[in-house]
Amino acid sequence: MTGVDSVYPFGLAPAPGRQRRIAVIAGDGIGPEVVAQALRVVEPLGVPLDIEHFPWSAEHYLKTKETLPTGALVRLRDEFDAIFFGALGDPRVPDGVVARDVLLGLRFGLDLYINLRPVQLLDERLCPVKGKTRRDVNFWVLRENTEGPYVQMGGSFKRDTPDEVAISEDLNTRRGVERIIRAAYTLAKVPHGSAHPTPRVCMVDKANALPHAHGLWQRTFRVVAAEHREVQSSHLFVDVAAMEFVRTPERFDVVVTSNLFGDILTDLGAAICGGLGVAASGNIHPGRCSLFEPVHGSAPDIAGKGLANPLAAFLTLAMLYDHLGEAHCGDRLRKAVEQVVLAGRVTRDLGGTLSTSECGDAVLAELATATRN
Ligand code: NAD
Ligand code: IPM
Ligand code: MN
């Protein structure tokens, strides 16, 4: 962004003469509200998509006891090009089983090892840090997406007694660590409007406290960095990285980190761009069916009130178009969102007065204006 059209290195092979097939999982809470807005741009963007909706959600689970049905993974992998996902999470299902089975199930089952999360400021007025410009806050976080504590290895013993023991293992494999670090270098080498002349990769871990798991990250990083002398490679411990996201975001182009740290750091990344209402993400396996979702959750506190900001969903759909090899649509959509933000036609979380659907109207109007000019 920031005046540079996207060059996305993880996309699908071209499929001339065939409509792309998109699975939509709108989910819970504000998921369906923001997904409905984003899908309004598909027709005006002019690249016909073959869309199929899937009902997996808390509502569906409460009715049927089904989360991710048998066969769904294979079908999605073999018959679809991408998945557009809203959010999962509902207070009526307090143990989060639907999100675990469906969202984590798809991340693991489709081996979507790259969680790509842009931290790109659209308007200086949205940054809560004094004096930071759009050039300063313009980087990518690559979060490892198939390992770490998310694999849910572990268990508990003497549950619900004073002697309870609970263990969650942090799984890290050489293959898993190496492939996400390599993806960071691949991304660093494509232009993305950084103000810095040489591309930079920063690896974030906590090897000082976790010498086994994160020692593996450090050793792997050194090997891969040595193969990319043209890239400036650096390292930060995650506590300092959190501070630097706020203090000097301009030092980052590509940040690569583990699953859990990436989860936490990207909500912080969203905060320096104006909040979760503008944070997009892709769960990607290069060249394969991948899943695109806003960083935010189902926001039960504002669901059903017309308050949800749909811009993260629009920006997420833009990433999905990049993956399909239709970056011209992605770029048009990002520019429309940018214009809407600059014009202050936004929802309350960004200081505006618009409802979810009025903000959607504004994006559509902006696309129409851009097409006429
Ligand atoms: P959340 O992201 O849903 O909400 C955090 C805060 O940000 C809330 O105050 C919410 O109102 C606000 N917010 C989020 N998105 C917004 C938007 N588009 N516009 C305006 N305000 C927005 O996080 P949470 O409250 O911790 O989680 C709620 C549920 O969502 C939980 O069940 C959680 O597990 C789930 N969750 C799901 C996903 C996902 O499906 N990818 C991601 C995060 C959380
Ligand atoms: C996210 C979410 C998920 C995660 C939850 C819902 C499991 O917070 O996508 O950022 O931690 O990955
Ligand atoms: Mn998260």
Containing 209, the helix (H) or strand (E) segment is: none
Instruction: Give the chain's end-to-end CA distance (angstroms, integer).
Output: 20
> 20 - beta bridge partners?
49
Ligand 2 near 28 CB (within 6 A): no
Distance CA 224, CA 185 (A): 9
Residue listed under structure tokens 């593996």: 216
Ligand 2 near 263 CB (within 6 A): yes
Boundaries of CATH 3.40.718.10 in the chain? 1-121+278-373, 128-272
**pLDDT given at position 6:** 65
> Which tokens hold the place of 260?
């859990």
Amino acid at the residue 34: V
Shortest-distance ligand to the CA of residue 279: 1
Q: In this model, does residue 4 exceed pLDDT 60?
A: no
Ligand 2 near 341 CB (within 6 A): no
| Ligand 1 centroid to residue 165 C-alpha, Å | 30
Q: Rounded to the nearest 5°, which phi and psi values hold at 239?
A: -65, -45
- 363 confidence band (pLDDT: 50, 70, 90): very high
Q: In this model, does residue 250 exceed pLDDT 90?
A: yes
Distance CA 52, CA 75 (A): 12
| Ligand 3 centroid to residue 39 C-alpha, Å | 23
Ligand 2 atom 12: the closest Cα is on which residue?
263
Containing 146, the helix (H) or strand (E) segment is: none
**pLDDT given at position 197:** 85
Ligand 1 test: best mutation among 276, 311, 341, 357, most atoms within 8 Å of CB? 276
Q: In this model, does residue 271 exceed pLDDT 70?
A: yes
Average pLDDT over residues 55-80: 98
Ligand 2 test: best mutation among 25, 85, 93, 103, most atoms within 8 Å of CB? 103
Predicted TM-score of the model (pTM): 0.98
Nearest to 317 by CA among 46, 83, 128, 151: 83
Distance CA 73, CA 108 (A): 10
Mean residue pLDDT across the chain: 96
Give the active site residues.
150, 206, 239, 263, 267
| Ligand 3 centroid to residue 264 C-alpha, Å | 6
Question: What sign has the CA pseudo-torsion 125, 35, 332, 249?
Answer: positive
| Ligand 2 centroid to residue 117 C-alpha, Å | 12
Helix (H, G, I), strand (E, B) or coil at 172: coil
**pLDDT given at position 2:** 40
- Give CA 8 to chain center in angstroms: 14
Question: Regarding beta strands 280-284 and 114-120, do their DSSP bridges make them parallel or antiparallel, or are they unpaired?
Answer: antiparallel
Give 286-304 pLDDT, tens digit per residue. Answer: 999 999 999 999 999 999 9
How far is CA 139 from each of CA 35, 184, 279, 282, rounded to the nearest angstrom? Answer: 25, 12, 12, 15
Range 128-272: architecture per CATH: 3-Layer(aba) Sandwich (3.40)
Give 311-333 pLDDT, tens digit per residue. Answer: 999 999 999 999 999 999 999 99
> Which tokens hold the place of 32?
């369906």
Ligand 1 test: best mutation among 296, 341, 357, 359, most atoms within 8 Å of CB? 296
Ligand 2 near 99 CB (within 6 A): yes
Ligand 1 atom 29: the closest Cα is on which residue?
89
Q: Are 325 and 14 in contact (CB under 8 A)?
A: yes
Q: Rounded to the nearest 5°, which phi and psi values hold at 279?
A: -105, 120
Nearest to 259 by CA among 105, 142, 140: 142
Helix (H, G, I), strand (E, B) or coil at 166: strand
Question: Regarding beta strands 49-54 and 200-205, do their DSSP bridges make them parallel or antiparallel, or are they unpaired?
Answer: unpaired
**pLDDT given at position 371:** 83
Helix (H, G, I), strand (E, B) or coil at 15: coil
Distance CA 66, CA 71 (A): 12
| Ligand 1 centroid to residue 319 C-alpha, Å | 20
Q: In what order do the strands lie in the sheet with 82-87?
A: 49-54, 20-27, 82-87, 290-294, 280-284, 114-120, 138-144, 254-257, 200-205, 232-237
Distance CA 219, CA 277 (A): 37
> Which tokens hold the place of 366?
């902006």
Q: In this model, does residue 229 exceed pLDDT 90?
A: yes
- What topology does CATH give the domain 1-121+278-373? Isopropylmalate Dehydrogenase (3.40.718)
